[in-house]
Amino acid sequence: MKPRAASTQRRTRIQKENEEIILESALEIFSTNGFRGTTIDQIAAAAGMSKPNLLYYFRRKEDMHQALLDQLLTNWLAPLEEMDPGGEPLEEICKYIRRKLEMAEKYPRESRLFANEILQGAPHIKEQLEGALRELVDEKSMLIENWIEQKKLAPCDPRHVIFSIWATTQHYADFDVQICAILAEEERIKTRFEDAAKMLEGLYVNGLKP
């Protein structure tokens, strides 16, 4: 979903900057209030723009929401796409865990945006979930099955391995407030993502080694 101004033949630097400002503001509001709880007026206020000015770039809040989701899915799929068939299986799985935790640390708002969309039944991205995402998971599941057949991994259900990595890594984005409250100590809070990576790597290596 391209912004409305992108349809012009030549987009100025200011137009590009305004689009980025709008989407950054929309991300903040959507990730906090959800799609239904967000209004164009809220996004315009957060962006420091008038409503008519914002509507020049995006006609509807659906367009802003879709643009954010499209970019999110592109970024979200990249770490799984990078799983290398020629690599060492346990190392590749550990790399995937670390990439997902890095995303949880750097992009918590995007994770909450995605979680809100899923909780609403994925009305705006169901086609992508049933298309590109399913195809990628099928592809990587076949790769994991090949590793199992080669005795490089213990027998397991590849799809549930992937699901469990999603669950354990994205938890650190979606429930960060809870995690910090429980860890309490400043030093433990600072190292929570690295500590999580080490713990999860050990968990999956011990559980999946042949």
Q: pLDDT per residue over 81-98, tens digit each?
A: 999 999 999 999 999 999
- What gap in Å lies between CA 57 and CA 23, rounded to an integer? 10
Q: Which two tokens stand for residue 198?
A: 């080490």
CA angle 30, 181, 183 (to 5 degrees): 125
Task: Return per-residue pLDDT of the chain as tens, 210 residues.
Answer: 555 544 555 678 888 899 999 999 999 999 999 999 999 999 999 999 999 999 999 999 999 999 999 999 999 899 999 999 999 999 999 999 999 999 999 999 999 999 999 999 999 999 999 999 999 999 999 999 999 999 999 999 999 999 999 999 999 999 999 999 999 999 999 999 999 999 999 999 999 999
pTM of the model: 0.86
Domain with CATH 1.10.357.10 in the chain: 68-208
- CATH topology classification for 68-208: Tetracycline Repressor; domain 2 (1.10.357)
- What gap in Å lies between CA 171 and CA 164, rounded to an integer? 11
CA-CA-CA-CA torsion sign (115, 118, 120, 123)? positive
- The residue among 194, 152, 158 whose CA lies nearest residue 80 is 158
Task: Say which residues have a Cβ less than 8 Å from residue 155's Cβ, sequence separation at least 6.
Answer: 148
Question: pLDDT of 31-69, one tens digit each?
Answer: 999 999 999 999 999 999 999 999 999 999 999 999 999
- CATH topology classification for 4-59: Arc Repressor Mutant, subunit A (1.10.10)
Question: Do 22 and 47 form a contact (C-beta atoms < 8 A)?
Answer: yes
CA 202 vs CA 22, 80, 169, 170, 210: distances in Å: 41, 20, 14, 18, 14
- Long-range contacts made by residues 1-7, C-beta under 8 angstroms, separation at least 24? 1/63, 1/66, 1/67, 1/70, 2/67, 3/57, 3/58, 3/63, 3/67, 4/56, 4/57, 4/58, 4/59, 4/63, 5/56, 5/57
DSSP assigned state of 10: S
Q: Which residue in this structure is represented by tokens 């992009």?
A: 107
- What is the predicted pLDDT for the residue at 4? 52
- What gap in Å lies between CA 109 and CA 72, rounded to an integer? 10
Domain with CATH 1.10.10.60 in the chain: 4-59
